[in-house]
Structure 1
């Protein structure tokens, strides 16, 4: 048999003579080689498709993740911007209150919260600043972290400032509450502070207070918070009450028909301490009201604001 051919016998269903088919071996070799090449090409195509498919899935996932990161960072930036605006408003409010209360703020060293608040800046996130899909966001996260640390530092400084301001205003409010500022009695001013002609001698004299005339029994009130340090009866002022308000301020009330307080008693602004009368050296029912500052009599009308 010829070894250069592959001989095939084809048998029919009937009893006819078998057909002989000779196929050269070179054709078979060529067909085998083509089959191998086709298989390799097909395998390469399948692998490449799978790689592209995997890359597409990964890209889609990274794209989605990147979009989520954008949304999170944008929200993060918006919150930082809102906090910066709020801190700026608080800082402005702090300055206004200090101006009204005449309080100087302690200077801060260079680079302190005052300087940080003054610098400010746009905290919005630039779309071009976001990394492409799959890239790390460490740089942006670090910037956000730095901004938050600055805001925390500013907030702490602002809180300290408000505590200081509150302490000062509390002290200020105590001082204001202890400063005479209202009329001690209703009535008519018949004699003011300063030089006048004495109603008893007709000679010039210095009047150390002011006289407020009204009917006997009209209430006399404390014009500020304080402590009663004297309740007595004197030759000139008759029944008299003296209140110490602290800060070197004392007020005196003379010619009272009655007193309703005792030495050592603390009184609030507006509390009744006695009633108008004509005791002592007096031409008629009235209240002698005087204010002294560090032992020196001053014009009481300067301590009446209403």
Structure 2
């Protein structure tokens, strides 16, 4: 038990400890000044402890926050490097696409194939000069080094830009990485716009070529044997020389006659010489005619595709037997139909 007395005098504090009913109590006296100083020191230590603990908590939070920022910065750097690598890969793929596009442009007739340098074209078998021989006046020997230098200068003069590479990205600073990525994005944007324009041109050209191919006769209209070719012949009716403007194909009566390309039926009728006639307009100035048929199976204005049946083989009109008179005209002029048969 502890008790604080009023003290023996006004300048001290006395603490009495009772140890039992028979034991003599213990007395401790402390000067007031000492107690005050002790309380002041304890208060200072308490405040100091509170400040130290608060500072520790704050610093610990800052360290954790700094560690989180560092982790985030490392992650952002890794993502930037990965993004730059992906940009570099896209550049390579875009380069391959440009090569394919260039080949397609040549194939579709948009760009003419490169013929090389017509002025400086050189070649042929060479043998070493004999010892002591001099180069003829006005001639110079170009070394590989000078040619390489000239090639490099030519590349610089032509304005070719160095494409940023992902190699060595880990050695660059953050600002340099960002600049590399920005340069890569700018290059990709420019090249993508050019490729988009090129692809649009290729699409239009391919569509035109496809339409032209679909409209160009390319198959036999009927299976059989050629009884009279295109060009001069002896007329089977007058036995005199005459010009035959088509192809006579002998076949069994009522054999199907197929359209050799897509087109539109412009004529279905009867001619005193050609008998039952069907005429197709394939576009691009190409027309085909089918004569001496037993029956036509299409109507004027009807659209047909390659392989569609337009009629049946017969011997109507001026004919010696069942056959098909097949004619091909381009811009109003008759051409040999065999030039338009691929199978």
**Same fold by TM (over 0.5)?**
yes
* Residue 244 (1) aligns with residue 281 (2): yes
Output the CA distance in 1 between the equivalents of 2:312 and 2:291: 10
Output the CA distance in 2 between the equivalents of 1:65 and 1:269: 65
Output the CA distance in 2 between the equivalents of 1:61 and 1:215: 89
2:301 aligns with one of 254, 258, 264: 264
1:180 offset after TM fit, Å? 0.9
Q: Which residue of 2 aligns with 1:210?
A: 247
Output the CA distance in 1 between the equivalents of 2:111 and 2:219: 29
Q: How does 1:1-306 map to 2 (within 5 A)?
A: 67-68=74-75, 70-104=77-111, 119=161, 121-126=163-168, 129-131=171-173, 137-306=174-343
| Equivalent residues of 2:169, 2:177 under 8 A apart | no
Q: Which residue of 2 aligns with 1:33?
A: none
1:217 offset after TM fit, Å? 0.2
1:53-108 superposed Cα distances (whole Å, 9 cap, x missing partner): 99x99998887666545523321221011110111121112112112211229xxx
| Equivalent residues of 1:77, 1:125 under 8 A apart | no
| Equivalent residues of 2:88, 2:184 under 8 A apart | no
Q: Which residue of 2 aligns with 1:11?
A: none
Output the CA distance in 2 between the equivalents of 1:127 and 1:97: 36
For the residue of structure 2 that corresponds to 1:141, the secondary structure is: helix
Output the CA distance in 2 between the equivalents of 1:65 and 1:264: 71
1:120 offset after TM fit, Å? 5.7
1:239 offset after TM fit, Å? 0.7
Output the CA distance in 1 between the equivalents of 2:321 and 2:278: 19
RMSD: 2.8
* Structure 2 CA distance for partners of 1:61 and 1:201, relative to 1, 3 Å: same
Q: Which runs of 4+ in 1 moved over 6 A?
A: 56-63
| Unaligned residue ranges in structure 1 (runs of 5+) | 1-49, 106-114, 132-136
1:171 offset after TM fit, Å? 2.1
Output the CA distance in 2 between the equivalents of 1:266 and 1:234: 22
- The aligned length equals 241
| Equivalent residues of 2:225, 2:251 under 8 A apart | yes
